[in-house]
Amino acid sequence: MRSPKWKLCLALQFLIISISGKIVSSALLCSEDDRAALLSFKAGIVKDTTGILSSWRALDCCSGAWEGVTCNPKSGHVIGLQLQSAAGSSVFVMKGILSPALGSMKFLETMIISGMKIAGNIPESFSNLTGLKQLYLEDNLLDGKIPASLGSLHSLRYLSLSGNKLRGQLPPSLATLKSLVQLTVSRNLLTGSIPSSFINPSLQVLDLSNNLFSGKLPSFSSQFRNLSYIDLSNNQFSGEIPISLCYLPSVSSINLNHNKLTGKIPDQISNLKSLSSLSIANNSLTGTIPESLAKLSNLWLLNLSSNGLRDPLPGSLSKGLPSLSSVDLSYNNLQLGKIPDWLRTKKLTSLNLAGCNIKGNLPIFKQPDTLGSLDLSKNSITGTISNVFANMTSLQTLKLSNNMIITNISEIILPEILSSLDLHSNQLFGSVSILLQKSSLRELDLSNNKISDKLSEFKEQLYLKSINLSRNRITGQIPSTVSRLTSLERLDLSRNLIKGSIPETVGSMRSLNWLDLSNNGLTGKIPQSFTMLENIRHVNFRSNRLCGEIPQRRPFNAFKPVAYAGNLCLCGQPLPPCKKKQ
């Protein structure tokens, strides 16, 4: 028989009381101070379309009912706050500010508030979160400076403030965070140079990309022994690539694209035995590619495009780089003459040699079934390309623009999965019908060729997003079935010989944001159905034979007059008003 003492304990365990008309547990687990801090944050959110904060109602924030809140089951203190939405989402967001009260949750270990529309500054009070290990405030609208006081969070291992509007310099105090594994501040408006005192032996990920940093690249001393990922791209760094960068034993990825770097690629690059990805595109590097590059046995991605690198290519490359899969040497001072044999025989997934002065016919690739992207534009390639791509079964992107290719388009055999085709500025002729009916295509550019075909009717289930057939000799009319291209965002048929009226059905193409029909022989009116084109941002009807009132609704009545110039008798804003009928 159980004792009366047991019965008393059981009674206390299930005791409930009524507060403000609601039935609640008498033994609340949630810390009162933490609950107050969370409610203060909630009060600072003026709009919540995620629905998350609507769950913050019960008195016990640790009951599991408060979405995004995690507690220590013994102490009742909040240890995790995770509020996430998809980056760039305009549907599920929170608009408001970060309440300084969040800095009072001293037992918090994880704070993730990402993909929202949170604005304002990062509160200085966050320096009180001494137990914080993860701080992710990505993809919000935060502005102001990064608080130097964050340097007092000595337990912090992961810090990401990317995708905001933060300004000022990178606080040197962050270098004192000896436990920091990841520092990501990409996609902000940060300026200044990287502090010379910035040394952190535990750091593995350093991402400062897409900011306004300047000055020389930081010196990577031996104390950065654990650094594996470096992204300093899209800044204004200048000077030479520091030799110290070549002595990082663990680094696997280096991205220095889009800066103002000068000088040569260091010969010591071969010391980076773990390097798998090297991108130094869009700088002002000169000299030749070092022979030592061939020793990088783990390198699978190499991007040296848009620099001033010159011939000759190192002979060692033909025997080295066994893991190489993606190569971009475009737009340097290379005079290749032909595609090197070692590139034709490798099992590549991507090859970009645009602007490398390649001449003659396209050669046969020895591993054609692996190529997913091929860019040989702006060269001097001649001859026909009818059967060149027949065995490239993985090819999705093909760019051969600005060459001297002479081919009947209808005879080109293309892979079934090809999604992007750019053949503009060649000497192509024949019918475009087969290409326009290709269900896998998303982007098609055949502009500035010698195509004299008529546009055929469009079938269902086409997913083209962009069509550019400008500067050809296309005749006939625009088929009304063009409206079946429900995904089409950009249509350019300018500078052809197209006649007839503009189909009313174009007005139902709700995805359309760019339309250029200029310099043709179009007649009739601009259809009033165009007022339904909600996403339209650019139109050009110049130099046709159109007449009648321009659709009097924005943006059509607000475009510049030049968009309608050179027609028979268009009228209405932005042109002079139409004459009243007598």
The alpha carbon dihedral of 508, 509, 514, 518 has a sign of: negative
**Confidence tier at 91 by pLDDT (50, 70, 90):** confident
Of residues 500, 489, 445, 452, the one with CA closest to residue 469: 445
Q: Is residue 34 helix, strand or coil? A: helix
Residue for token digits 């083209």? 464
Of residues 73, 72, 93, the one with CA closest to residue 83: 93
Average pLDDT of the residues in 522-529: 96
Element (H, E) at 549: strand 545-549
User: 212: which strand partners?
Assistant: 191
Element (H, E) at 9: helix 4-13
The class that CATH gives domain 29-137+152-158 is: alpha beta
Q: What is the pLDDT of residues 376-412, one digit of tens each?
A: 999 999 999 988 998 999 999 999 999 999 999 999 9
Residue for token digits 């930081």? 218
- Half-sphere CA count of 516, side-chain side, radius 13 A: 16
User: Phi and psi (nearest 5°) for 430?
Assistant: 100, -160
Contacts 24+ apart (CB under 8 A), 257-263: 257/233, 257/281, 257/282, 257/283, 257/303, 258/233, 258/234, 258/282, 258/283, 259/232, 259/233, 259/234, 259/235, 259/283, 260/236, 260/284, 261/217, 261/237, 261/285, 262/238, 262/286, 263/239, 263/287
317 touches 294 (CB < 8 A): yes
**Residue 314 preceded by cis peptide, ω within 30:** no
Q: If you average pLDDT over every residue of the chain, what do you get?
A: 91
In sequence order, what E strands does 200-341 have? 205-207, 212-216, 229-231, 236-239, 253-255, 260-261, 277-279, 301-303, 326-328
pLDDT at 13 over 80: no
pLDDT at 4 over 70: no
Beta strands 110-114; 78-84: pairing state: parallel
User: In the chain, what percentage of residues exceed pLDDT 70?
Assistant: 94
Give the Cα separation of 580 and 283 in Å (integer).
60
User: Phi and psi (nearest 5°) for 243?
Assistant: -60, -30
Distances (CA, A) of 549 to 526, 527, 539, 560, 576: 8, 9, 16, 15, 10
Cα 497 off chain centre by: 37
**Confidence tier at 85 by pLDDT (50, 70, 90):** confident
Residue for token digits 């608080």? 147
For residues 275-304, b (16+ Cβ closer than 10 Å) or e, as one string?
A: bbbbbbbbbebeeebbebbbbbeebbbbbb
Give the Cα separation of 345 and 336 in Å (integer).
16
Which ranges of 327-448 does DSSP label H, i.e. alpha helix? Answer: 341-345, 433-436
268 touches 243 (CB < 8 A): yes
- Max Cα-Cα span within the chain: 108
Average pLDDT of the residues in 446-461: 92
Give the Cα separation of 127 and 103 in Å (integer).
7
pLDDT at 438 over 60: yes
User: 192: which strand partners?
Assistant: 213
Of residues 347, 303, 305, the one with CA closest to residue 324: 347
Residue for token digits 């546009």? 455
Domain assignments of the chain as residue spans, ordered by start:
29-137+152-158
Residue 109: predicted pLDDT: 97
Residue for token digits 């594996």? 228
550 touches 570 (CB < 8 A): yes
Neighbouring CB atoms inside 10 A of 71's CB total 22
pLDDT at 221 over 90: no
> Counting Cβ atoms within 10 Å, is residue 582 exposed (0-12), middle (13-18) or buried (19+)?
exposed
Contacts 24+ apart (CB under 8 A), 124-128: 124/100, 124/149, 125/100, 125/101, 126/102, 126/150, 126/153, 127/103, 127/152, 127/153, 128/103, 128/104
Statement: the pTM of the whole predicted model exceeds 0.85: yes
- Which range has the worst mean pLDDT, 13-27, 82-96, 189-203? 13-27
Q: Which DSSP symbol is given to 406?
A: -
Tokens of 534: 């909600």
258 touches 281 (CB < 8 A): yes
In sequence order, what E strands does 312-366 have? 326-328, 350-352, 359-360
CA dihedral 186, 187, 193, 197 (to 10 degrees): -20
Cα end-to-end span (Å), the chain = 108
In sequence order, what E strands does 181-243 have? 182-184, 189-192, 205-207, 212-216, 229-231, 236-239
User: 522: which strand partners?
Assistant: 500
Q: What is the pLDDT of residues 534-571, one digit of tens each?
A: 999 999 999 999 999 999 999 999 999 999 999 999 99
pLDDT at 14 over 50: no
Write the CB contacts of 54 (distance below 8 Å, at least 6 apart in sequence): 48
Q: What is the pLDDT of residues 137-187, one digit of tens each?
A: 999 999 999 999 999 999 999 999 999 999 999 999 998 899 999 999 999
Cα angle: 68, vertex 70, 74; to 5 degrees: 165
Average pLDDT of the residues in 54-68: 93
Give the Cα separation of 579 and 442 in Å (integer).
43
Which ranges of 294-398 does DSSP label H, i.e. alpha helix? Answer: 341-345
Q: What is the pLDDT of residues 233-269, one digit of tens each?
A: 999 999 999 999 999 989 999 999 999 999 999 999 9
User: Phi and psi (nearest 5°) for 35?
Assistant: -60, -40
pLDDT at 20 over 50: no
Give the Cα separation of 6 and 284 in Å (integer).
81
Q: Name the more confident of 10 and 456.
A: 456
Cα angle: 351, vertex 451, 482; to 5 degrees: 90
